[in-house]
Protein backbone atom coordinates (compact mmCIF):
# COMPACT_ATOMS: atom_id res chain seq x y z
CA UNK A 1 0.00 0.00 0.00
CA UNK A 2 1.18 3.54 -0.79
CA UNK A 3 0.66 6.94 0.77
CA UNK A 4 -0.55 8.09 -2.64
CA UNK A 5 -3.52 5.71 -2.23
CA UNK A 6 -4.34 6.94 1.27
CA UNK A 7 -3.99 10.73 1.04
CA UNK A 8 -5.95 13.44 -0.74
CA UNK A 9 -2.73 14.91 -2.16
CA UNK A 10 -2.13 11.54 -3.89
CA UNK A 11 1.62 11.55 -3.40
CA UNK A 12 3.87 9.27 -1.40
CA UNK A 13 5.64 5.96 -1.72
CA UNK A 14 5.03 2.48 -0.42
CA UNK A 15 4.44 1.70 3.26
CA UNK A 16 6.16 -1.31 4.81
CA UNK A 17 3.10 -2.25 6.87
CA UNK A 18 -0.43 -0.77 6.86
CA UNK A 19 -2.51 -1.78 9.89
CA UNK A 20 -6.27 -1.22 9.73
CA UNK A 21 -8.13 -0.74 13.02
CA UNK A 22 -11.93 -1.02 12.90
CA UNK A 23 -12.56 -0.90 16.66
CA UNK A 24 -11.09 1.09 19.52
CA UNK A 25 -9.69 -2.12 20.98
CA UNK A 26 -7.90 -2.96 17.72
CA UNK A 27 -6.56 0.59 17.54
CA UNK A 28 -5.19 0.47 21.10
CA UNK A 29 -3.61 -2.95 20.61
CA UNK A 30 -1.94 -1.91 17.36
CA UNK A 31 -0.76 1.40 18.80
CA UNK A 32 0.71 -0.33 21.86
CA UNK A 33 2.57 -2.82 19.65
CA UNK A 34 4.01 0.04 17.60
CA UNK A 35 5.06 1.99 20.68
CA UNK A 36 6.74 -1.04 22.23
CA UNK A 37 8.50 -1.95 18.98
CA UNK A 38 10.14 1.48 18.89
CA UNK A 39 9.73 1.52 15.10
CA UNK A 40 8.71 4.56 13.08
CA UNK A 41 4.99 4.89 12.37
CA UNK A 42 2.24 7.34 11.44
CA UNK A 43 -1.47 7.41 12.19
CA UNK A 44 -3.80 8.11 9.27
CA UNK A 45 -7.49 8.94 9.25
CA UNK A 46 -8.82 10.47 6.07
CA UNK A 47 -5.35 11.33 4.80
CA UNK A 48 -6.36 14.91 4.04
CA UNK A 49 -3.64 16.50 6.12
CA UNK A 50 -0.61 14.40 5.17
CA UNK A 51 2.02 14.87 2.47
CA UNK A 52 4.56 12.06 2.18
CA UNK A 53 7.83 11.46 0.38
CA UNK A 54 7.94 9.10 -2.57
CA UNK A 55 10.78 7.24 -0.95
CA UNK A 56 9.64 3.91 0.45
CA UNK A 57 8.54 4.25 4.08
CA UNK A 58 10.14 1.59 6.27
CA UNK A 59 7.70 2.16 9.12
CA UNK A 60 4.02 1.38 9.64
CA UNK A 61 0.80 3.27 9.09
CA UNK A 62 -2.05 2.78 11.56
CA UNK A 63 -5.26 3.36 9.62
CA UNK A 64 -8.11 4.52 11.86
CA UNK A 65 -11.33 2.99 10.51
CA UNK A 66 -13.40 2.97 13.69
CA UNK A 67 -17.08 3.89 13.39
CA UNK A 68 -19.93 4.87 15.69
CA UNK A 69 -21.92 7.89 16.86
CA UNK A 70 -23.65 7.84 20.27
CA UNK A 71 -26.04 10.65 21.25
CA UNK A 72 -27.57 11.89 24.48
CA UNK A 73 -30.14 14.66 24.75
CA UNK A 74 -29.54 16.93 27.73
CA UNK A 75 -32.17 18.81 29.72
CA UNK A 76 -30.95 22.25 28.66
CA UNK A 77 -31.73 21.96 24.95
CA UNK A 78 -28.36 20.52 23.96
CA UNK A 79 -27.24 17.16 22.64
CA UNK A 80 -23.99 15.40 23.47
CA UNK A 81 -22.35 13.32 20.74
CA UNK A 82 -19.65 10.73 21.33
CA UNK A 83 -18.04 9.99 17.99
CA UNK A 84 -15.43 7.37 17.12
CA UNK A 85 -12.19 8.76 15.70
CA UNK A 86 -12.48 7.01 12.33
CA UNK A 87 -15.78 8.62 11.38
CA UNK A 88 -15.65 11.04 8.44
CA UNK A 89 -15.92 14.63 9.63
CA UNK A 90 -18.18 15.96 6.88
CA UNK A 91 -20.49 12.95 7.22
CA UNK A 92 -20.81 13.86 10.92
CA UNK A 93 -21.74 17.44 9.99
CA UNK A 94 -24.39 16.10 7.60
CA UNK A 95 -25.85 13.95 10.40
CA UNK A 96 -25.93 16.96 12.73
CA UNK A 97 -27.67 19.17 10.16
CA UNK A 98 -30.20 16.45 9.30
CA UNK A 99 -31.06 16.03 12.98
CA UNK A 100 -31.27 19.74 13.81
CA UNK A 101 -28.09 19.93 15.90
CA UNK A 102 -26.40 23.30 15.64
CA UNK A 103 -22.75 24.23 16.15
CA UNK A 104 -20.66 22.63 13.39
CA UNK A 105 -22.63 23.54 10.25
CA UNK A 106 -20.08 26.14 9.10
CA UNK A 107 -17.41 23.43 9.21
CA UNK A 108 -19.12 21.52 6.40
CA UNK A 109 -16.86 20.10 3.72
CA UNK A 110 -13.68 19.94 5.81
CA UNK A 111 -12.03 16.69 4.71
CA UNK A 112 -10.58 14.18 7.13
CA UNK A 113 -11.58 12.14 10.13
CA UNK A 114 -13.18 13.09 13.42
CA UNK A 115 -10.10 11.96 15.33
CA UNK A 116 -7.94 14.51 13.53
CA UNK A 117 -10.32 17.38 14.36
CA UNK A 118 -9.08 18.13 17.91
CA UNK A 119 -5.44 17.65 16.91
CA UNK A 120 -5.73 20.48 14.39
CA UNK A 121 -8.51 22.34 16.21
CA UNK A 122 -10.22 22.54 12.84
CA UNK A 123 -12.34 25.52 11.91
CA UNK A 124 -13.88 27.41 9.03
CA UNK A 125 -16.21 30.30 8.28
CA UNK A 126 -16.36 31.57 11.83
CA UNK A 127 -16.66 28.27 13.71
CA UNK A 128 -13.96 26.26 15.47
CA UNK A 129 -14.04 22.84 17.04
CA UNK A 130 -12.93 24.35 20.36
CA UNK A 131 -16.36 25.98 20.75
CA UNK A 132 -18.21 22.64 20.80
CA UNK A 133 -15.60 20.17 22.03
CA UNK A 134 -16.19 18.71 25.49
CA UNK A 135 -13.49 16.05 25.78
CA UNK A 136 -11.66 13.26 23.99
CA UNK A 137 -10.85 9.63 24.77
CA UNK A 138 -7.06 9.47 24.56
CA UNK A 139 -4.78 6.43 24.59
CA UNK A 140 -1.64 7.77 26.26
CA UNK A 141 1.68 6.77 24.70
CA UNK A 142 3.49 7.12 28.04
CA UNK A 143 1.18 5.08 30.27
CA UNK A 144 -0.48 2.95 27.57
CA UNK A 145 -3.77 3.65 29.32
CA UNK A 146 -6.95 5.29 28.06
CA UNK A 147 -7.88 8.53 29.75
CA UNK A 148 -10.43 11.25 29.26
CA UNK A 149 -8.97 14.66 28.44
CA UNK A 150 -11.21 17.67 28.88
CA UNK A 151 -11.07 20.42 26.27
CA UNK A 152 -9.07 22.78 28.50
CA UNK A 153 -6.35 20.14 28.90
CA UNK A 154 -5.64 20.17 25.16
CA UNK A 155 -4.23 23.70 24.96
CA UNK A 156 -6.34 24.51 21.92
CA UNK A 157 -5.36 27.55 19.86
CA UNK A 158 -5.57 28.51 16.19
CA UNK A 159 -4.94 25.22 14.30
CA UNK A 160 -3.06 23.91 17.31
CA UNK A 161 -3.34 21.51 20.21
CA UNK A 162 -0.89 20.00 22.64
CA UNK A 163 -1.22 16.78 20.66
CA UNK A 164 -0.06 18.50 17.48
CA UNK A 165 2.74 20.17 19.44
CA UNK A 166 3.80 16.77 20.84
CA UNK A 167 3.32 17.91 24.42
CA UNK A 168 0.74 15.13 24.60
CA UNK A 169 1.66 11.89 22.84
CA UNK A 170 -0.98 9.33 22.11
CA UNK A 171 -3.96 8.28 20.03
CA UNK A 172 -7.35 9.97 19.82
CA UNK A 173 -9.97 7.23 20.12
CA UNK A 174 -13.20 9.22 20.36
CA UNK A 175 -14.41 12.81 20.49
CA UNK A 176 -17.25 14.22 22.61
CA UNK A 177 -19.12 17.25 21.27
CA UNK A 178 -21.95 19.35 22.68
CA UNK A 179 -24.33 20.88 20.13
CA UNK A 180 -27.51 22.91 20.44
CA UNK A 181 -30.81 21.27 19.49
CA UNK A 182 -31.98 23.86 16.99
CA UNK A 183 -32.95 23.91 13.30
CA UNK A 184 -31.16 27.26 13.03
CA UNK A 185 -27.45 27.89 12.84
CA UNK A 186 -25.26 29.52 15.42
CA UNK A 187 -24.89 33.29 14.81
CA UNK A 188 -23.09 33.81 11.51
CA UNK A 189 -19.60 35.05 12.31
CA UNK A 190 -17.85 35.23 8.93
CA UNK A 191 -18.40 38.02 6.46
CA UNK A 192 -18.08 35.96 3.29
CA UNK A 193 -20.60 33.42 4.56
CA UNK A 194 -22.98 36.19 5.59
CA UNK A 195 -22.75 37.62 2.08
CA UNK A 196 -23.45 34.25 0.48
CA UNK A 197 -26.57 33.93 2.64
CA UNK A 198 -27.67 37.55 2.14
CA UNK A 199 -27.48 37.91 5.90
CA UNK A 200 -25.88 40.16 8.48
CA UNK A 201 -23.18 39.10 10.90
CA UNK A 202 -24.90 37.67 13.95
CA UNK A 203 -27.96 36.48 12.02
CA UNK A 204 -29.10 32.87 12.15
CA UNK A 205 -30.23 30.82 9.19
CA UNK A 206 -31.61 27.29 8.74
CA UNK A 207 -28.87 24.70 9.17
CA UNK A 208 -29.46 23.27 5.70
CA UNK A 209 -29.01 26.69 4.08
CA UNK A 210 -25.76 27.34 5.94
CA UNK A 211 -24.35 23.93 5.07
CA UNK A 212 -25.20 24.36 1.39
CA UNK A 213 -23.71 27.87 1.29
CA UNK A 214 -20.48 26.68 2.92
CA UNK A 215 -20.16 23.73 0.55
CA UNK A 216 -20.64 26.06 -2.42
CA UNK A 217 -18.04 28.50 -1.08
CA UNK A 218 -15.55 25.71 -0.48
CA UNK A 219 -16.21 24.19 -3.90
CA UNK A 220 -15.57 27.56 -5.56
CA UNK A 221 -12.10 27.43 -3.99
CA UNK A 222 -11.43 23.78 -4.85
CA UNK A 223 -11.71 22.92 -1.15
CA UNK A 224 -14.28 20.10 -1.44
CA UNK A 225 -13.08 16.66 -2.43
CA UNK A 226 -14.52 15.98 -5.89
CA UNK A 227 -13.57 15.40 -9.52
CA UNK A 228 -12.26 18.97 -9.59
CA UNK A 229 -8.48 18.76 -10.24
CA UNK A 230 -7.97 21.61 -7.76
CA UNK A 231 -9.29 19.40 -4.96
CA UNK A 232 -6.27 17.07 -5.28
CA UNK A 233 -4.57 18.84 -2.41
CA UNK A 234 -4.21 18.93 1.35
CA UNK A 235 -6.58 21.88 1.63
CA UNK A 236 -5.01 25.05 3.01
CA UNK A 237 -1.28 24.39 2.90
CA UNK A 238 -0.32 27.28 5.18
CA UNK A 239 -1.88 28.66 8.35
CA UNK A 240 -2.74 32.34 8.63
CA UNK A 241 0.20 33.89 10.53
CA UNK A 242 -0.40 35.61 13.85
CA UNK A 243 1.79 38.67 14.38
CA UNK A 244 1.97 41.54 16.83
CA UNK A 245 -0.36 44.46 16.24
CA UNK A 246 2.71 46.70 16.14
CA UNK A 247 4.27 44.61 13.36
CA UNK A 248 1.02 44.63 11.38
CA UNK A 249 0.94 48.45 11.31
CA UNK A 250 3.51 48.40 8.52
CA UNK A 251 1.14 46.53 6.21
CA UNK A 252 -1.12 48.40 3.78
CA UNK A 253 -4.73 48.97 4.75
CA UNK A 254 -5.78 46.51 2.03
CA UNK A 255 -4.11 43.65 3.93
CA UNK A 256 -6.84 41.71 5.76
CA UNK A 257 -6.55 41.50 9.52
CA UNK A 258 -8.52 39.22 11.82
CA UNK A 259 -8.91 39.21 15.57
CA UNK A 260 -6.47 37.06 17.55
CA UNK A 261 -5.89 36.45 21.23
CA UNK A 262 -3.09 38.34 23.02
CA UNK A 263 0.14 36.45 23.67
CA UNK A 264 2.05 36.47 26.95
CA UNK A 265 5.81 36.20 26.47
CA UNK A 266 8.15 34.33 28.81
CA UNK A 267 9.13 37.71 30.23
CA UNK A 268 5.51 38.25 31.29
CA UNK A 269 4.93 40.96 28.68
CA UNK A 270 1.46 40.84 27.12
CA UNK A 271 1.49 41.40 23.35
CA UNK A 272 -1.60 42.29 21.34
CA UNK A 273 -1.80 40.30 18.12
CA UNK A 274 -3.72 40.07 14.86
CA UNK A 275 -4.06 37.30 12.31
CA UNK A 276 -2.98 38.07 8.77
CA UNK A 277 -4.25 36.39 5.60
CA UNK A 278 -1.74 33.89 4.24
CA UNK A 279 -3.54 33.98 0.89
CA UNK A 280 -3.12 37.78 0.67
CA UNK A 281 0.57 37.49 1.55
CA UNK A 282 1.14 34.85 -1.13
CA UNK A 283 -0.69 36.80 -3.82
CA UNK A 284 1.06 40.06 -2.94
CA UNK A 285 4.44 38.34 -2.96
CA UNK A 286 3.84 37.80 -6.65
CA UNK A 287 2.49 34.23 -6.64
CA UNK A 288 -0.89 33.95 -8.34
CA UNK A 289 -3.42 31.22 -8.88
CA UNK A 290 -2.16 28.41 -11.09
CA UNK A 291 1.50 29.30 -10.48
CA UNK A 292 4.05 26.50 -10.85
CA UNK A 293 7.80 26.25 -11.11
CA UNK A 294 7.63 25.25 -14.76
CA UNK A 295 9.23 21.83 -14.55
CA UNK A 296 6.98 20.81 -11.67
CA UNK A 297 3.68 18.94 -11.55
CA UNK A 298 2.82 20.78 -8.33
CA UNK A 299 0.97 24.07 -8.65
CA UNK A 300 -0.88 26.70 -6.70
CA UNK A 301 -4.61 26.01 -7.06
CA UNK A 302 -6.29 27.84 -9.93
CA UNK A 303 -9.04 28.81 -7.49
CA UNK A 304 -7.26 29.71 -4.26
CA UNK A 305 -3.65 30.67 -3.54
CA UNK A 306 -3.65 28.96 -0.16
CA UNK A 307 -3.77 25.46 -1.67
CA UNK A 308 -1.00 23.53 -3.39
CA UNK A 309 -2.32 20.93 -5.83
CA UNK A 310 -1.04 17.82 -7.54
CA UNK A 311 -1.78 18.49 -11.19
CA UNK A 312 -1.08 14.88 -12.10
CA UNK A 313 1.82 12.64 -11.19
CA UNK A 314 3.53 15.08 -8.83
CA UNK A 315 5.99 13.78 -6.28
CA UNK A 316 6.08 14.67 -2.62
CA UNK A 317 9.34 16.52 -3.19
CA UNK A 318 7.73 18.64 -5.93
CA UNK A 319 4.99 19.63 -3.47
CA UNK A 320 7.62 20.49 -0.85
CA UNK A 321 9.75 22.40 -3.37
CA UNK A 322 6.84 24.66 -4.31
CA UNK A 323 5.96 25.17 -0.64
CA UNK A 324 9.54 26.22 0.12
CA UNK A 325 9.46 28.66 -2.80
CA UNK A 326 6.23 30.23 -1.48
CA UNK A 327 7.71 30.52 2.01
CA UNK A 328 10.84 32.23 0.69
CA UNK A 329 8.94 34.71 -1.47
CA UNK A 330 6.60 35.71 1.38
CA UNK A 331 9.43 36.00 3.89
CA UNK A 332 11.50 38.13 1.52
CA UNK A 333 8.55 40.39 0.71
CA UNK A 334 7.01 40.80 4.15
CA UNK A 335 9.29 39.30 6.79
CA UNK A 336 6.65 36.69 7.64
CA UNK A 337 7.39 32.97 7.73
CA UNK A 338 4.46 30.83 6.65
CA UNK A 339 3.95 27.61 8.61
CA UNK A 340 2.70 24.51 6.82
CA UNK A 341 -0.61 23.06 8.01
CA UNK A 342 -0.32 19.47 6.72
CA UNK A 343 1.89 16.87 8.40
CA UNK A 344 4.99 16.03 6.38
CA UNK A 345 6.30 12.45 6.29
CA UNK A 346 10.00 12.17 5.36
CA UNK A 347 9.84 15.64 3.80
CA UNK A 348 11.20 18.97 5.00
CA UNK A 349 10.43 22.59 4.16
Distances in Å between the Cα of 297 and the Cα atoms of 93, 174, 207, 226, 301 are 33, 37, 39, 19, 12
pLDDT of residue 277: 96
In terms of domains, do 10 and 92 share one? no
Looking at the structure of the chain, the number of domains it has is 3
pLDDT of residue 264: 85
Please, is 187 exposed, middle or buried when counting C-beta atoms within 10 Å of its C-beta (0-12, 13-18, 19+)? middle
In terms of domains, do 214 and 311 share one? no
Please pick, among 33, 67, 82, 159, the residue that the annotation labels catalytic.
Answer: 159
pLDDT of residue 259: 86
Does the predicted TM-score (pTM) go above 0.75? yes
In terms of domains, do 150 and 117 share one? yes
200 is annotated as an active-site residue: no
Bridge partners (DSSP) listed for residue 271: 263
For the chain, the distance separating the N- and C-terminal CA atoms, rounded to the nearest angstrom, is 25
Bridge partners (DSSP) listed for residue 150: 135
**Which of 172, 187, 220 corresponds to the end of one domain?**
220
pLDDT of residue 187: 97
In this structure, what CATH number is given to the domain that contains residue 253?
A: 3.90.78.10
113 is annotated as an active-site residue: no
10-residue stretch averages of pLDDT, the chain, 349 residues long: 96 96 98 94 94 94 97 91 98 98 97 95 95 98 97 94 95 98 96 96 97 96 86 93 94 92 86 95 97 95 95 96 98 97 93
In this structure, what CATH number is given to the domain that contains residue 54?
A: 3.30.43.10
In terms of domains, do 243 and 297 share one? yes
DSSP state of 204: -
Contacts of 260 (CB under 8 A, 6+ apart): 158, 242, 273, 274, 275
In terms of domains, do 77 and 213 share one? yes
**Burial letters 212-222, b for 16+ CB under 10 A, else e:** bbbbebbbebb
**Which of 13, 31, 64 corresponds to the end of one domain?**
64
In terms of domains, do 52 and 93 share one? no
Mapped onto helix, strand or coil, the DSSP state of residue 271 is strand
73 is annotated as an active-site residue: no
In terms of domains, do 276 and 322 share one? yes
Please pick, among 178, 236, 301, 321, the residue that the annotation labels catalytic.
Answer: 236
In terms of domains, do 216 and 79 share one? yes
**Which of 64, 89, 117 corresponds to the end of one domain?**
64
Instruction: Print the domain residue range for 268.
Output: 229-345
Amino acid sequence: MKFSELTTMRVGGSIADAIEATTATEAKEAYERLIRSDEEFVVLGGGSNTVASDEGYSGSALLMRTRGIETRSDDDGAVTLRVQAGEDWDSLVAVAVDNGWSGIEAMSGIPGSVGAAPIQNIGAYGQELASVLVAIDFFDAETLQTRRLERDELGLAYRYSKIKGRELRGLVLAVELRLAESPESQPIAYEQLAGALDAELGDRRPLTEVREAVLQLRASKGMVLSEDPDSVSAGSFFTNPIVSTKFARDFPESAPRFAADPVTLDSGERVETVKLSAAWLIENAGIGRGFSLGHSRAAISSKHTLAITNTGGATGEEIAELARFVQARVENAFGVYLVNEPVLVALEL
